[in-house]
Structure formats: structure tokens, C-alpha cells
A and B are shown apart, each in its own frame.
Chain A
């Protein structure tokens, strides 16, 4: 992780001096994480891919505004968050759910596909704010402070959204026994 941070910093410095190749390496390191974050937010592969491209383009154009290269991940996901919410607001001004909740609670023993559907369904039942808090914490591993920067809100709000989401997810997913593939 330390090596990666150092190398990212080096790539950022080169990209700031105009090296597109260095920036492409940086993109290749982060595109999968950004794409999956956006995919789970907007629930559409084409939109997620388009948004990913926009995110990396904006990041390149604004790379010189990044004060501390060590904060690149949170800064990048802040751009991704803004792009995703811009699209969600455009598509759904009335604020309806992005992901259609799938039916089916988790049972004691489930097979991988059922489990995936149950998890997707449980995430789909959360509000957008709650779902994004889960995505940033559970799937992207950001700290509360970084999440507060990405979401532009106090840490107390981040914790409130995340804890409420975890309580809801626990009700749906806690009975799952993941050993159903025997």
C-alpha cells in the first residue's frame, strides 16, 4: 500500500507536467474501483462506463488543483460522487429509487447466485445516501474522515447514514449462511 501510494504520487506529478502516459497508468489502477462504485450507485453499466470516463477526464483537467497527492483517492471519488448524483438528479427529479428492490429475504443457506441477488436486493432497498455510505466504507474501504470529504458532510452524518444502513442490511442479510455451496 505504501509503495502504491508512492507510485501514485509519482504518476500524479508526471501527469501534472503533461504526461498522458503516466495518467493512463494511474487510470488503469483506479478504473475498476471507480467503475464498480458508479455501477452500484447508478445500476446501469453504460451509464457507469460513461460516468467513469467523465470522472477521469475531469480529474485530469483538475489535477493541478489537487493540493495533497496523498488524498487522490478521496478526491477522485468526490468527483465520481458529484458526477453520479448529477446523473441521478437529471434522470429522476422526483427522487425515486435507482435500483429496483428484488424480492426474497436471505435464508439460512444460499447458493452464490442467490446470495448475490439477495445482497443486490438489500442494497437496492437502501436510500441513495445510505447505499453510497455502504459502498464507500464496505467496498472501497475509506475512513470516516475521507467519506466526509467525498460526501461533503460532517462525520456524524456519515456515521448516522452508515449505521442506519447496516441495521437495515443486518435484518435482511444476517441470517445468511454463506456455506451453501457444499
Chain B
């Protein structure tokens, strides 16, 4: 193996196939120039590895929102095994129905069926929208109630704090007044 055919960087990075890796390993023992170069590359990698990872300043997390959660049929649709089972069940049902219901099919009024389907679809969409709006309103109400509670608590805390300050000030002035009275009495006594 000649020096020009040796890919030291791929060797360093663990990208060589096992056989080639052994060849390079043997070459490094026999070639001082490549061995020196390998040592420099290894020093560089050691220096790079000294740069420690940082912890993210804040954890990343997502919250579930009922409005955007998949419906039961979406969950089944996305589940491979369940979908396979459902398909097999449908196929079996279709064979069963086909075998036992060979009588002439009655005339079908497609316009009436379409109208009924449209009404049902409209009703479901309306219900879903109503439900979503109600959920959004409920969340908004909860947020407002929470904000009001927080404000009340803050106001109460502030009121208590100011009251405590007032008491403290009153105690201070009472104390000062007593000291003043004692001092003035002492002064009166000494002047007598």
C-alpha cells in the first residue's frame, strides 16, 4: 500500500470497510510519515472533542389540543394492523352479503340518498364547528378566570403588604413618641 492511496481521514472517521481499515493500520506501523500525519489528525480530533455540549436553556415540549387530535376513524386509518383487520372484515362481510342477498335490488332513489347524505354531512360539520367553538370559549373563560384570580391574589398580597407597612410605621411613631415623652420628663426633672 502506497502513501498516496491511504485515506487517513476516512480511517480517523471510521468510514473505511474492515479490510481496508486493517491495511491502513498495518501501513501506519510501517510508515513514519503517515504515522506522524495520523498523530496530528488525532490531536486535532481530541481538541475538537473538548468542546462540550451545552444544555438547552429551556426544555421543548408540546401540549395536546383536543380540537386538533385525530378522530377515532383517523386513528384506525393511520394504524396499519387495524386497517388491515378492518379491510379483511369488510371483505368477509361483502362476500357474506353477496352470497345471501342475490335478490334483485330495489330501485334506488339516488337523489334522495344524496340529499340525505348532504344533510348528515352538514349536520356533522355544524356539530363539529359548534363543539370546537365551545371548547375554545371554555378555554378562553378559564384563562380569564385564572387571570382575574391572579390579579386578585396580587392585589390582596399588595394590600396586606401595605397594611403591614402601615402597622410598622405606627409602631415606629408610637415608640418614638414614648422615647420623646421619657426624654422630656427626664429633662423636666433635671431642670427642677
Interface residue ranges, A against B (CB under 8 Å): 16-18, 20-21, 23-24, 27-28, 31-33, 35-36, 39, 45, 49, 52-53, 56-57, 60, 64, 106, 112, 115-116, 118-120, 123, 134, 137-139, 143-144, 162-163, 166, 169-170, 173-178
Contacts and interface: CB of A to CB of B under 8 A. Distances in A.
Given A106-B47, A174-B43, 7 more contacts: A20-B62, A28-B61, A35-B54, A64-B78, A162-B13, A174-B47, A178-B47
A63 to B, nearest CB: 10
A26 to B, nearest CB: 10
- Enumerate the 4 nearest inter-chain pairs by beta-carbon distance, A residue then B residue, closest first: A173-B47, A174-B40, A20-B64, A35-B56
- Quick one: which of B58, B61, B69 has the most chain A CB within 10 A? B61
Interface residues of B, number: 33
B49 A138 contact: yes
B54 A20 contact: no
Contacts of A31: 56, 59-60
Contact of A112 (B50, B53, B78): B50
A178 B50 contact: yes
- Quick one: which of A45, A115, A170 has the most chain B CB within 10 A? A170
Nearest to A24: B61
A177 B15 CA distance: 26
Nearest to B41: A170
Q: Is the interface of A mostly helix, strand, loop or mixed?
A: helix
B15 A17 contact: no
A174 B46 CA distance: 9
B56 A52 contact: yes
Contacts of B53: 32-33, 36, 139
Given A115-B50, A119-B47, A137 B57 contact: no
Q: Is the interface of B mostly helix, strand, loop or mixed?
A: loop
Contacts of A17: 70, 75, 78-79
- Quick one: which of A39, A120, A166 has the most chain B CB within 10 A? A166
Contact of A119 (B43, B50, B55): B50
A87 B61 CA distance: 22
B18 to A, nearest CB: 15
B44 interface: yes
Contact of A173 (B48, B55, B63): B48
Given A49-B56, A174-B43, A144 B15 contact: yes
B50 to A, nearest CB: 5
Contacts of A106: 47
11 contacts: A17-B75, A20-B64, A27-B60, A31-B59, A35-B54, A106-B47, A116-B50, A116-B52, A139-B51, A166-B44, A174-B47
Contacts of A138: 45, 48-49
Nearest to A167: B9
A32 B55 contact: yes
